[in-house]
Every structure is written in C-alpha cells, then in structure tokens.
Structure 1
Amino acid sequence: MSNVQDYPSRLSDPASRKMETFSYLPPMTKDQVRKQVQWIVDNGWNPAIEHTEPANAGGYYWYMWKLPMFGETDVDAILAEIDECHDANPAHHVRLLGYDNFTQSQGANMVVYRGQMV
C-alpha cells in the first residue's frame, strides 16, 4: 500500500482549508492557469468567475463576478476578467468555473487566487 499524505485541513484554521482538487497542489503558474482556461474553451464550456472572503470559502454561496461568459473563446479575455476580479477583491479567493451545456453542471472548478485572512 502506498503512503497517503494527510492534509491537516481544519474548519478552525481557515488558512488550511482546501476547496477543490487543485488546492492540494502548489499554486498554479500563469501558464498553467492559461492551459486550464484553454481546456475549458476547447471543450466548449462557458467560463464563469466567482469570488468570496476566505472565511466564507467553505460555504455554498460565492459571489458571481459579472455574468458567465457564454460563448467566450478568447483565452486572453477570460484571463483579463480573472485578473480584474482579483484586482477588485484582492483579499478574496477567486475561482474559475467551466459550465458544461450538455450536462448542465460545472465541468471544471478551480481556485486561481487564494485570498488572505484579514
């Protein structure tokens, strides 16, 4: 049996909370984020951006940044919106979603920027 690492994520420690699969990895580089956005676009999914305070990240409700970008295929435009959301809410977590029209659900969900507890 392989050694499985335990991540000490606790509700009492907001800095330790994990929000999705990628949050267990080191932060993504700009190039890695670009590749994820490209993958969402290549699959024909609709990107959307959400943000919230780190203390509320475990909740189901995140604030939507503008409307989902229905039909948007320009990766640079999507990345610009992610950065604009982060610039407007520097202390918030910012996540990128990819909505799959066929299954009518989220096909991708990743935190791109992690905010700091204030």
Structure 2
Amino acid sequence: MQTLPKERRYETLSYLPPLSDAQITRQIEYTLKQGFYPAIEFNEDSDPAIHYWTLWKLPLFNARTPQEVLSEVQACRSSYPGSFIRVVAFDNIKQCQVQSFIVHKPNSARY
C-alpha cells in the first residue's frame, strides 16, 4: 500500500493523476447521460473554504454533447488562463450539485 504524497487536494477525483482530455470527455458524457446539467466555474484560488467560485455564463441547460461543454471550458480558459476551472453538474430533481472536478489548473498553482 502506498501513501499519497502530501499536496493540496481539490474536487472529486483529485486523488487521481490529472485527467486527460479523453477522460474529461468521458466524465462529461456520464454527466449528460445521467440527465444532469453541466456548468463551468472558475476562481483564482481553489480553496472553497475561503473563496467562492464564479459561474462562467449560465449552466449549459441545452448541452447535448461533451464538445459543447468543452468548447465553453476552452473559452473560459482563454479568458481566465490564471484561474482554476472546474465542471460542476446539477441534478434538477434533487436540486443540488452532484459532481464537480477540476479541468484546468494554472501553471503557477502550488501543490
């Protein structure tokens, strides 16, 4: 058994190595197949105890493919390259957030 190195942990899946583009796409596919509504949030710091995340546009209620979500992630990344960016998913039945994971960490992020 191996102990994980001491570093800052982020959202869901943070104990794994950084997700590849293909893995991010599969997570978004899962989100859409479950009927959840994806949204994109960003912040200069990833510590949720201190900072609130800012919503990038409105949640993507009409998104049907992962590419639609990823294009918004790219637009957010272009506008805020020094920010952490995450994809969150909302369940409209339970009226709550059910998933979130980091899709972009700035180069200057300290772990």
The TM-score normalised by the length of structure 2 is 0.86
Moved over 3 A (4+): none
Alignment counterpart, residue 23 of structure 1, candidates 14, 32, 37 = 14
Alignment counterpart, residue 41 of structure 1, candidates 32, 37, 51 = 32
- Deviation of the 1:83 alpha carbon: 1.0
Name structure 1 gaps, 5 residues minimum. Answer: 9-15
| Equivalent residue number for residue 48 of structure 2 | 59
Which protein is richer in helix relative to its size? 1
Q: State the alpha-carbon separation in 2 of the partners of residues 24 and 30 from structure 1.
A: 17
SS of 2:103's partner is strand
Q: State the alpha-carbon separation in 1 of the partners of residues 82 and 68 from structure 2.
A: 22
- Summarize the alignment of residues 1-118 of structure 1 with structure 2, pairs less than 5 Å apart: 3=1, 5-8=3-6, 16-54=7-45, 57-60=46-49, 61-117=52-108
CA RMSD of aligned residues (A): 1.7
SS of 1:80's partner is helix
How many residue pairs were aligned?
107
- Deviation of the 1:116 alpha carbon: 3.3
The TM-score normalised by the length of structure 1 is 0.82
SS of 1:19's partner is coil
Matched residues, percent identical? 31
